Structures are given as C-alpha cells and as structure tokens.
Structure 1
Amino acid sequence: MKIALIGYGRMGKEIEGIARDRGHDIALIIDQNNQADLTVDNLKNVDVVIEFTNPDSAFRNYMICFEAGVPVVSGTTGWLDQLGEVKSYCENGKAFFYASNFSLGVNLFFELNKKLALLMSGFDQYNVDMEEIHHIHKLDSPSGTALTLAEGVLENHPVKNSWVEGLSTKDSEMSIVAKRHGAVPGTHSITWHSEVDEIQIQHQAYSRKGFALGAVLAAEFMPGKSGFLGMKDLLKL
C-alpha cells in the first residue's frame, strides 16, 4: 500500500519503520515543516493516511483527507469535541479509524476493565479511581486511553456517572490522577479499594512499538471500508 504519514514525531517515525518492514510504501510525509504540502492533489495516489499530530490540527487534517477521498487512521487525542462532525462525514461514505490507543494489550485491557466494573457494581463498599503516567511531551491530560477506561467504568457502574481530573470527594465522580514524567510511554492503573483491601489492574507499555504496529494493522484493514471504525472492528472483540 501507499501510505501517507501526517505527523512525523516519535510515533510517526516508529510507524514508518514498521510499515516499510511490512512492505508498504511511504508515499508522503507531512510534519510541521511542510504542512502546506497536505493537499488534495498530493493525496490522490495514496491508499490510506495515518495521522498522529495534535488536537489543534487534527480536525483540519481529517477534512483535507475526506475531501481527497482517502481513508484515515488517527491516533490523535484531545479533539473529541468534534467527534460528532467526523461521524457525520462517515455516515456519508467516508472512512475513518480512530483509537485512543492502538496497542493490542491496551484494547484487551479495555475489555477487562469493563468486565471488572460490571462485577464490582454490586459491591458499594468499593470505590474506584485511576492513575495514568505519560512522558512530559504528552499534550492532553488526562490521556485518551484514560478517558476510554473511565467511560468503561461509568457505563458499567451504577454510582459513578462522571470523571474529574485530580482527587474527588464525591461518590458519583471517578478521580483520574494524571502524571507526566520523563519518557514514560504510558502506564494506566485502576484501583478498587475498600476499608479492608484493594483490587488493582494495570497496563504498562514498554515502548511505542505496540502502538505503531496497531496503527499499521489498522491501515492495512482500511481499503474498501467506510464508516467510523475502531479497534473492536479490527480485533473482532
């Protein structure tokens, strides 16, 4: 396949290496130094776009790709206030694949989190909170992965109906403590605690390779697809 990379930071370079190893052609690379090259004409011969940029530019990037008729795989987080608009384009034949985290392990962790929240919903002596740790260059806080995990709890627990960054004293709120340290790829811990014990599940990424491979697998999945897709579609979860 011919792949366009929008965003050429650490993740973009990791994705490039894995894509080339899997026999794909990187037909276009867009970074902060050549943003003017992201045009409909330059996307005409591209099979799929992989986009990892920042919340401020992501939506504009999607619109250009949609205009060119090119499927998009995006791992950018922090733009979800415009999710409804993107989904409306997908209802009209555009193809968009979004994941807050492309790691296979994290997506299995998402499912484990939901099942544990459902199990714990019958035991009101347990409270739940979350801690997430990322590298100092992470732009959004809490992370997109943390928000997906929080949604998994809120959807399956009768008491928790919202989340808050930092510590909360309200029974109805789930606390998310977001920390930024060094070069940590990503650690997410969910703890259910009572007066007498606690239960904790945790996912810890060792490198970006798992995220990058997932993004390339998503790109390979996209030709011929339409609609708003995600890791559940790719992994058949």
Structure 2
Amino acid sequence: MNIALLGYGRMGKTIEKLATERGHKIVKTIDQDDDYEFNGADVAIDFSVPDAAVANISACLNAGVPVVSGTTGWLEHYDEMVSLCENKKGAFIYASNFSVGVNIFFELNKQLAKMMQNLEEYDVDMTEVHHIHKLDAPSGTAITLADGILDYSDKKDWVLDEKETGKLTINAVREGEVPGTHTIKYQSAVDEITIEHKAHSRNGFALGAIIAAEWLKDKTGVYGMKDVLGL
C-alpha cells in the first residue's frame, strides 16, 4: 500500500518506520508549506497540528485520497469534513486515539459510567498526562472519555483544571516525554474506583493508525475506530 504522511514529526516518523516494516511504501511526506501532490498514494495518514488539519484533510478528500486523521484540537470543523467527504464520495476516519488498547478503554469507561450513574455518593474526575510538546489540552482522548462519562451522568459538561458544580473536571498535566496516561477516578467518602490506561510508547498509536489505513483503503464513507476494530 502506498501511504502519504501529513505531518512528519515524531508520530509521522514512527508511522513511517512501522508501516515500512509491514511492507507498505511511504510515497509522500507533507509538512509545513509542502505541496499536496500525493504521488499515487492509496491512503493518507494525518498526524499534523490543529491549525493544519482541516487543510490537510480537505486536500486529501478533494484529491480522492482516503484519509486517516489522528490530529486533535480542530473538531469544531469536524462536521464540515464529514460533509466534504460525503460530497466527494470519499473515505475518512478520525479518531482521538488510534491505539487498540485505548479504544478498548473507551468502551470500558462507558460501561463503568453506566454502572455508576445512579450512585450519587460517588463523584468522578479525570487526569490526563502528556509530554510537554503536546499543543492541545485537554487531550482528544480525554474529551472522548469525558463524552462517554457525560452520556451517563447528571453533569452537563467538562471543565479544564478547575472544580465547577455540575461539571466534570479534567486535569491536564504536561511533563517530560510521557506518551499518554489517562486516569478516571470515582470517589466517595468510603472508597474510590480507578481505571487507567498508560501508553508505554507512541508505537501503539502509530500501529493503530496504520491498521485503520489498511482497513479504509478502497472504502467510501465516514468511520471511526469502533468500525475498524468491530467494537
């Protein structure tokens, strides 16, 4: 499979290494100010920056190249990209996190939230820890986890790094080179219940994106990792 990489930072380089090991060929790397010549790519993988994501995804869809995007921090334009994909009869997958383990964690989080929804003695909060280079806060993964909790909670929204009545607190920590740790804690006066996903490297995110690209090739439509993994 011929792959174009949109964004050639740490994740892009990790994807390049793992994709090559799986027998794929990187035919184009597109970084800042590069042209959108896709060189016969079967699929594009976007791990760029929030300000570039919409232009990158749009260029792929306009060129008829299926695109997998793991860039976070641009989702106010997500519906526009879905409409463009449908209009162009293209193929598009967005995920806040492509790790297989994280997507299992998403489902576990929803199940726990459903179990806890009527237990008013428990309050819930979340902490996410990432490396100091991460540009957005909270992480896209944390927002997905928050949505899973809010679906079964009387809390109306989430709030970043503060306590506010009726809202879910997300604590965002930036330190060192941490690939990503997400912790959900339900606490009462007598005990607490904690679930956590801790990434040991970027390889899980990169491999999941490659698996998604393999799955998306030759398809049309808008999908997520639940479709890719059959969850």
Shorter-normalised TM-score: what interval?
over 0.9
**Which residue identity is paired with 2:30?**
I
Report the CA distance between 1:90 and its aligned residue.
2.5
Amino-acid identity (%): 57
Conserved? CA contact 1:96–1:228, under 8 Å: yes
In structure 1, distance between residues paired with 2:134 and 2:12:
15
Q: Which residue of 1 aligns with 2:185?
A: 191
Paired with 1:139 and 1:199, the residues of 2 have a C-alpha distance of 30
- Number of residues of Structure 1 aligned to a counterpart in Structure 2: 230
Give the equivalent residue in structure 2 for 1:28. Answer: 28
**Which residue in the other structure is 2:83 paired with?**
88
Kindly state the Cα deviation for residue 62 of structure 1 after the two structures are TM-superposed: 1.1
Aligned pairs for 1:74-113 (under 5 A) are 74-92=69-87, 93-113=89-109
Q: CA deviation at 1:160?
A: 1.3
Per the TM alignment, residue 221 of structure 1 is displaced from its structure 2 partner at its CA by 0.7
Following the alignment from structure 1 to structure 2, what is the Cα–Cα distance between the partners of residues 184 and 154? 27
Q: Which residue of 2 aligns with 1:63?
A: 58
Letter in 1 for 2:56: N
Distance 2:58 2:161 in 1: 34
Q: Which residue identity lines up with residue 68 of structure 1 in the other structure?
A: A
- Deviation string 1:40-68 (CA, Å, 9 cap, x unpaired) is xx225110000100110110111111111
1:225 and 2:219 correspond? yes
Note the 1:145-160 alignment, pairs <5 A: 145-157=141-153, 159-160=154-155
**In the alignment, does 2:134 pair up with 1:138?**
yes
TM-score after normalising by structure 2: 0.97
Point out where structure 1 has 5 or more consecutive residues left out of the alignment: none
Amino acid aligned to 2:78: L
Partner of 2:11: 11
1:215 corresponds to which of 188, 199, 209: 209
CA displacement at 1:96 relative to structure 2: 0.6
Shift of 1:206: 0.3
**Which consecutive unaligned segments of at least 5 residues does structure 2 have?**
none
TM norm structure 1: 0.95
Q: Tell me by how many angstroms 1:184 deviates.
A: 0.2
Q: Secondary structure at the match of 1:151?
A: helix
Give secondary structure in 2 for the equivalent of 1:91. helix
The whole-number CA distance in structure 2 between the counterparts of 1:226 and 1:128 is: 39
RMSD: 0.9
Q: 1:205 aligns with which of 170, 192, 199?
A: 199
Q: Work out whether 1:47 is the aligned partner of 2:45.
A: no
1:100-125 deviations in whole A, cap 9, x for unaligned?
Answer: 00111100000000000000001011
Q: Is the Cα–Cα contact under 8 Å of residues 44 and 68 in structure 1 kept in the other structure?
A: no
Alignment partner of 1:234 is 2:228: yes
Distance in 2, matches of 1:199 and 1:24, equals 43
User: 112, 115, 134: which is aligned to 1:116?
Assistant: 112
Kindly provide the amino acid, as one letter, of the partner of residue 100 in structure 2.
L
